[in-house]
Amino acid sequence: MTAFIQNITFECRDPLSLGRFWAEVTGYSIDPEANETRTRLTKNDPRGVRHLLFLRVDEPRADTRIHLDFAAPHPEAEVRRLKQLGATLEDGETPDGRPIWRGNDEKRWIVLRDPEGNEFCLG
């Protein structure tokens, strides 16, 4: 038997607030026992990660090399929605208000940050 991913865990200052943000981003459900120290999101989808876990830590966030990548059929429309939820664009916008993309013709993505500064990408 092989190992499997049980949770992707975020160490954060406000698990309930950050959990609500990611529930809106992903469509995951907030566990009814969610609170200020531990919030878990669940999605019963055999094709992907089933849980996102948010744990309270009081020390400042340290940079990490792990982040989430998302795909959306209409990325720029999704960026507008994510900004309304509290995400920010890492690279800003062009003068005409479009998000700045990274990458090349083969693979392009937009880098964002959640309300606590965790990086994630949308392509």
Residue 1 maps to a domain: no
Residue 61 maps to a domain: no
Q: What is the pLDDT of residue 29?
A: 96
Alpha-carbon span 68 to 11, nearest angstrom = 14
Report the CATH number at residue 95: 3.30.720
Pure H helices in 27-65: none
Residue 50 maps to a domain: yes
Q: What is the pLDDT of residue 49?
A: 79
Q: What is the pLDDT of residue 61?
A: 66
Q: What is the pLDDT of residue 60?
A: 73
Same domain, 12 and 48: yes
pLDDT 10s digits, 53-101: 999 988 876 666 678 889 899 999 999 999 999 999 999 999 999 999 9
Same domain, 72 and 51: no
Q: What is the pLDDT of residue 66?
A: 76
User: Which residues, other chains included, contact 93 with Cβ-Cβ below 8 Å and sequence gap of 6+?
Assistant: 99, 100
Number of domains in the chain: 2
Q: What is the pLDDT of residue 1?
A: 65
pLDDT > 70? residue 3: no
Same domain, 46 and 79: no
Alpha-carbon span 27 to 23, nearest angstrom = 5
pTM value is 0.82
Task: Write out the residue range of the structural domain in which residue 94 sits.
Answer: 68-122
pLDDT 10s digits, 11-57: 899 999 999 999 999 999 999 999 999 999 999 877 777 889 999 98
Residue 63 maps to a domain: no
- What single string gives the DSSP state of each residue in 77-99? HHHHHHHHHT-EESS-B-TTSPB
Same domain, 33 and 74: no
- With H, G, I as helix, E, B as strand and everything else as coil, classify residue 12: strand
Residue 17 maps to a domain: yes
User: What does each C-alpha distance from 57 to 15, 48, 49, 87, 90 come to in angstroms?
Assistant: 9, 26, 23, 21, 24
Q: What is the pLDDT of residue 41?
A: 95
